[in-house]
């Protein structure tokens, strides 16, 4: 069993990496985060920037164009990006914790060479599981894959697919045998531009507005047997295992968001004066900030713990669910508490506080709602004990 470093201890390599991502986010993303939010889309230069910095293929081997780094470093990158803009963070999150992890775990050597090479060097990936009738009930899929010749015809719709607007490669979950239930679900690789595949609309959202969340439509899309990721009927395994890792990514996103909200409030209360003194001199304000800082640090430790367990090859399902649940809870609470410290200006769009609060709301919803996380934790406790 490999020795785990203390959770808050970073290696020199991890510290340099974190600081590099933080500097990038401050210098390049902060000036455009507000405009992208208002426009509801990423600026075209953002995705190329992420690839240039090596943030879109963190665990992809260097021989295939990636950074050849660890899952924990993906978590550091997501946290630092979310500290400035959660929309950009989720682009990086889905790419690394879901799409790349799925290909690394379940792809054949030929698939890994082809797809990881693309994903590490310029192609954005998307993870197409959700449908109108399958959210928390993730495997109630209506999307069908019908055998034809040496392949399949894919028909159906997917909703709320992150990165849909930018992706060139999609992992699409469909049922090949409805009578088999979850054992009929299969994961297919579909490339943008395939005949019969269209992206008719992008959602207009409350938060993470610059991140594209799209509907996908498949009408007799031909997929070959070589485009099956994992094995026929094993799509549920692909989904379950990658979503466990994805939960840690969302936890990191929420930690970074809460950290950004807290830092903004800290700066504001040391500048703003009321009743002849700085807001930071009022005990009630100081105690509110202290509670927020405690929440953020606790969420960070939960997230780092789950990521370290993952990299050590140890079980992490319960810890991932705990991190995701807690981090999404505190992100919304901290963002709301910090907004109130700004007073009236915090409720206006000229202040970044309201964006942090809007962006935080999705944390309790995607990649497993808070209810699903609590159920996962409870099942683990009942079957394995504390």
233 by Cβ neighbours in 10 Å (0-12 / 13-18 / 19+) ranks as middle
- The encoded tokens of residue 85 equal 């803009």
Residue 331: closest CA among 83, 95, 129: 83
Phi first, then psi, for residue 127 (nearest 5°) are: -120, 105
Q: Which of 45, 113, 367, 384 is catalytic?
A: 367
Tally of CB atoms within 10 A around 361: 16
Please, are residues 235 and 185 in contact by the beta-carbon 8 Å criterion? Answer: yes
Per the annotation, the verdict on 245 as an active-site residue is no
Q: Is 183 exposed, middle or buried (0-12, 13-18, 19+ CB in 10 A)?
A: middle
Residue 261 has phi, psi (to 5 degrees) of -65, -40
β-bridge mates for residue 333, sequence order: none
- Enumerate residues 6+ apart whose C-beta is below 8 A from 120: 56, 57, 60, 61, 64, 65, 66, 67, 100
Give me the half-sphere count of Cα atoms (radius 13 Å) on the Cβ side of residue 40. 8
Positions annotated as catalytic residues are 367
């Amino acid at each position: 069993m490999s020795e785990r470093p203390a959770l808050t201890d970073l290696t020199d390599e991890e510290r340099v990496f974190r600081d590099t991502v933080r500097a990038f986010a401050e210098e390049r993303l902060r000036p455009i985060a507000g405009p992208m939010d208002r426009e509801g889309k990423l600026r075209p230069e953002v995705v190329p920037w992420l690839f240039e910095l090596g943030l879109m293929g963190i665990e992809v081997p260097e021989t295939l164009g990636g950074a050849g780094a660890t899952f924990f470093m993906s978590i550091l990158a997501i946290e630092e990006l979310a500290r400035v803009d959660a929309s950009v963070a989720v682009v990086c999150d889905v790419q690394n914790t879901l799409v790349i992890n799925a290909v690394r775990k379940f792809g054949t050597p030929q698939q890994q060479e082809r797809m990881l090479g693309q994903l590490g060097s310029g192609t954005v990936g998307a993870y197409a599981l959700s449908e109108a009738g399958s959210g928390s009930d993730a495997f109630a899929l209506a999307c069908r894959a019908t055998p034809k010749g040496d392949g399949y015809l894919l028909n159906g719709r997917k909703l709320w697919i992150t990165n849909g607007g930018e992706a060139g490669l999609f992992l699409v979950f469909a049922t090949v045998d409805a009578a088999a239930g979850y054992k009929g679900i299969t994961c297919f690789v579909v490339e943008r531009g395939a005949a019969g595949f269209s992206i008719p609309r992008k959602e207009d959202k409350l938060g993470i507005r610059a991140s594209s969340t799209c509907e996908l439509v498949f009408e007799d899309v031909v997929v070959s047997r070589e485009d099956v990721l994992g094995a026929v009927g094993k799509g549920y395994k692909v989904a379950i295992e990658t979503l466990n890792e994805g939960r840690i990514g969302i936890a990191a996103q929420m930690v970074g968001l809460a950290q950004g909200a807290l830092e903004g409030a800290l700066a504001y209360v040391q500048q703003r004066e009321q009743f002849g003194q700085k807001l930071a001199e009022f005990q009630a304000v100081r105690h509110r900030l202290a509670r927020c800082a405690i929440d953020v640090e606790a969420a960070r430790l939960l997230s780092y713990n789950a990521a370290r367990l993952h990299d050590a090859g140890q079980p992490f399902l319960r810890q991932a669910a705990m991190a995701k649940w807690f981090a999404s809870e505190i992100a919304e609470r901290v963002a709301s508490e910090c907004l109130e410290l700004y007073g009236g200006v915090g409720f206006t769009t000229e202040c970044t506080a309201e964006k942090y609060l809007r962006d935080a709301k999705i944390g309790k919803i995607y990649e497993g709602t808070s209810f699903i996380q609590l159920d996962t934790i409870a099942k683990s406790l009942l079957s394995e004990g504390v």
